[in-house]
Amino acid sequence: MNMTTRVSRLRGDRVTLAHGGGGRAMRDLIEEVFTDVFRPPGREDQARLTSEALQEAGAQLAFTTDGYVVTPVEFPGGDIGKLAVCGTVNDLAVGGARPLWLSASFIIEEGCEIALLRRIAATMAAEAEAAGVRIVTGDTKVVEKGGCDTLFVTTSGVGAIPPGRDIAAVNIRPGDVAIVNGVLGDHGATILAARGDLALSTPIESDCAALGHLMEDVIAAAPGMRAARDLTRGGLASALNEMAAEAGVTVELSDEALPIRPEVRGMCEILGLDPLYLANEGRAVLFVPEAQAEAALAAMRARPEGEGAAVVGRAVTAGRIPVVTKTAFGGTRIVDMLVGEQLPRIC
Amino acid sequence: MNMTTRVSRLRGDRVTLAHGGGGRAMRDLIEEVFTDVFRPPGREDQARLTSEALQEAGAQLAFTTDGYVVTPVEFPGGDIGKLAVCGTVNDLAVGGARPLWLSASFIIEEGCEIALLRRIAATMAAEAEAAGVRIVTGDTKVVEKGGCDTLFVTTSGVGAIPPGRDIAAVNIRPGDVAIVNGVLGDHGATILAARGDLALSTPIESDCAALGHLMEDVIAAAPGMRAARDLTRGGLASALNEMAAEAGVTVELSDEALPIRPEVRGMCEILGLDPLYLANEGRAVLFVPEAQAEAALAAMRARPEGEGAAVVGRAVTAGRIPVVTKTAFGGTRIVDMLVGEQLPRIC
């Protein structure tokens, strides 16, 4: 172990175009800010990896990618780096894959504070470690002032789906129970408040969380799990509309059962938003056979990221409308797919 | 086969913020512009894949990523999509991996022309097919006008390194021969001219090309190949400095042997640039044992992307300077690593 404190070779406290030029300044930035924190294997421009989980007969490789452009890049409960790690881990996990490796690509605006990059890299390393994945390869580009807004991060993920596991929306059957792992809309409400142009002050934090461990626990407890989706842009409503269409079922939600904080409900009422469309970054909806619903709920509630788990509805024989909500007064409301844009750059 | 012409559901000819919102407009954009062209497998948010090449005992998985921010996004010889596919294929190939799958993530500025996105998606699909890889998963984000510059693309790649193959800079030995697959600096010179603010008009096109097939042919002809790097930002000079440092050798170039077009040389003289630092996007430097150099050259010249292949120098016992050039007059020039920024947003 090297106990000496290394002297930084980075000059100045802001990123310049030279940090993207392919030369010494770029190498210094990448090594000090990213490589020293992520500790990727090897020195070539590619990570070289092996995994017993992938080599097992019948295993599948899962591969996914997401770009992150959230503004502001730091917000209560997280930052763009935490979103990037958790979002890609979740895209792997909700399909039944065990997340293995991430790549991380940064597009940085000239003038961005190096201290900000260090904070975000530290968040990413911590989140990756907690989620049991490694950030193994990356890239850095710098664009001139005004060429992008502070920082964009794109992560891709590789995971292993164990032999015989098949979690997909097409497997949903009428009678299956829909469960979410916690209150809805906290991430969307947090970003909205953090932008500051609404003079809203709320104690809410982003729900941003990695769901890999939770998914493994629930699959162990409810091995008949049909399908899962993480709820990001477009919220629960958009995810359910996609799933219902793919499965050929209708999903009936119970308005009373939807777990939404009073503060989020209140903010939505003031602004004319529907919490079912608010973005989440640590929430998923899972469909399980009715007989396994209690076991799934118990497994979720045993983890911090699932302590607010709740049954929100069920799949029924396909009707004319893919997703509906039953109100407390016996009425039915159509939950359509989001048509336009509720809130730009939420993730 | 569906012989009807599908009516586009996209309204208007430019991207709006609604196309990034997670709802119906986003789904329509993704399906029409990207999914219909890339034809990824499955409907879940992750690609699920298997490959015999990866399951072979002793095989390694290669994983790499790169972001592309080139301006202008279309230029003689290519566009940002071609760069994104070729660049990631090349990062896999120069490490000895057979490229299998790519992800593609798009960050789009509000107001971007949908026709531009369609052209770029078509280029990417064609380049991927020619390179023998599939674009299997992707993501789209839209940021407000001014939040980014037209379009950024980030690709990640997964490939398979066959058992026993070990291509890495640390393997380079004194006596090894350095070969490049064609003329240097065309990409950098093309982008410089395409920006138009220098009133330069040149007949040069970008060298952008995928090198997967070439690398396989060369490895078959010269199975002792030590190392290879693609020459991107920072050019041949930066790649050789990195490799020399990792290998613990000095690289001696021969000034006369460097293949550079007279037009590129002329442009560099006018602008005070050094062609050794100009970016390339379809060029690599390979180190092979001297006994296999002729076979490697012949294999490269048999392919269009290697027809300009040339020996440019050799590795020698490490001296004080990592990379030097011998001039025609018997002098020696230091080829240092690029310190600052030669040309922003070249890739």
B211 contacts: CB under 8 Å, gap ≥ 6: B86, B89, B90, B93, B94, B181, B230, B282, B284, B305
Q: What is the pLDDT of residues A220-236, one digit of tens each?
A: 999 999 999 999 999 99
Q: Which residues of A touch B149 (CB under 8 A)?
A: 143, 147-148
The answer on pLDDT for B1 being more than 50 is no
Q: Which residues of B touch A280 (CB under 8 A)?
A: none
The answer on pLDDT for A5 being more than 70 is no
Torsion of CA A222, A226, A229, A235, to 10 degrees: -100
Q: How confident is the model at residue B45 (pLDDT cuts 50, 70, 90)?
A: confident
ipTM (interface predicted TM): 0.95
Ranking A4-8, A93-97, A225-229, B266-270 by mean pLDDT, the lowest is A4-8
Strand residues in chain A grouped as ranges (E): 47-49, 60-68, 74-75, 78-79, 98-109, 134-143, 151-161, 177-180, 227-230, 249-254, 284-288, 310-317, 323-326, 332-334
Query: A72 with A106: CB under 8 angstroms?
Result: no
| pLDDT score, position A6 | 58
| pLDDT score, position B195 | 87
| pLDDT score, position B6 | 59
The answer on pLDDT for A343 being more than 90 is no
Do the chains contact at B22 and A61, CB–CB below 8 Å?
A: no
Provide mean pLDDT across the span A93-105.
98
What is the average pLDDT score of chain B? 93
Provide mean pLDDT across the span A54-83.
96
Provide the percentage of residues in chain B whose pLDDT is more than 70: 96
Provide mean pLDDT across the span B193-205.
79
The answer on pLDDT for A45 being more than 90 is no
Q: How confident is the model at residue B240 (pLDDT cuts 50, 70, 90)?
A: very high
Query: B316 with B176: CB under 8 angstroms?
Result: no
Ranking A17-31, A206-220, B131-145 by mean pLDDT, the lowest is A17-31
Do the chains contact at A344 and B69, CB–CB below 8 Å?
A: no
| pLDDT score, position A4 | 44
| pLDDT score, position A83 | 98
Interface check A152 vs B, CB under 8 A: yes
Which B residues in the span 214-243 are in contact with A, Cβ-Cβ below 8 Å? Answer: 229-230, 232-235, 238, 242
Do the chains contact at A69 and B339, CB–CB below 8 Å?
A: no
| pLDDT score, position B157 | 98
Q: Which residues of B touch A144 (CB under 8 A)?
A: 344-345
Q: What is the pLDDT of residues B126-155, one digit of tens each?
A: 999 999 999 999 999 999 999 999 999 999
For chain A, list the domains and their CATH numbers: 17-42+58-161 (3.30.1330.10), 169-334 (3.90.650.10)
Provide mean pLDDT across the span A201-205.
82
Query: Is B323 buried (19+), middle (13-18) or exposed (0-12) by CB count in 10 A?
Result: buried
The answer on pLDDT for B3 being more than 60 is no
B264 contacts: CB under 8 Å, gap ≥ 6: B183, B184, B185, B186, B189, B204, B275, B278
The answer on pLDDT for A50 being more than 90 is yes
Q: How confident is the model at residue B344 (pLDDT cuts 50, 70, 90)?
A: confident
Q: What are phi and psi of A157, to 5 degrees?
A: -135, 145
The answer on pLDDT for B54 being more than 90 is yes
B189 contacts: CB under 8 Å, gap ≥ 6: B202, B204, B263, B264, B267, B268, B278
Q: How confident is the model at residue B339 (pLDDT cuts 50, 70, 90)?
A: confident
Q: Which residue of B has its CA nearest to A101?
A: B63
| pLDDT score, position B200 | 67
Ranking A97-111, A333-347, B168-182 by mean pLDDT, the lowest is A333-347
The answer on pLDDT for A189 being more than 80 is yes
Which A residues in the span 303-332 are in contact with B, Cβ-Cβ below 8 Å? Answer: none
Q: What is the pLDDT of residues B101-130, one digit of tens each?
A: 999 999 999 999 999 999 999 999 999 999
Question: Token digits for B111?
Answer: 């107001």
Question: Token digits for A342?
Answer: 């509720």
The answer on pLDDT for A38 being more than 70 is yes
Do the chains contact at A23 and B341, CB–CB below 8 Å?
A: yes
Do the chains contact at A104 and B65, CB–CB below 8 Å?
A: yes
The pairing of strands A60-68 and B47-49 is antiparallel
| pLDDT score, position A1 | 36
| pLDDT score, position A200 | 67
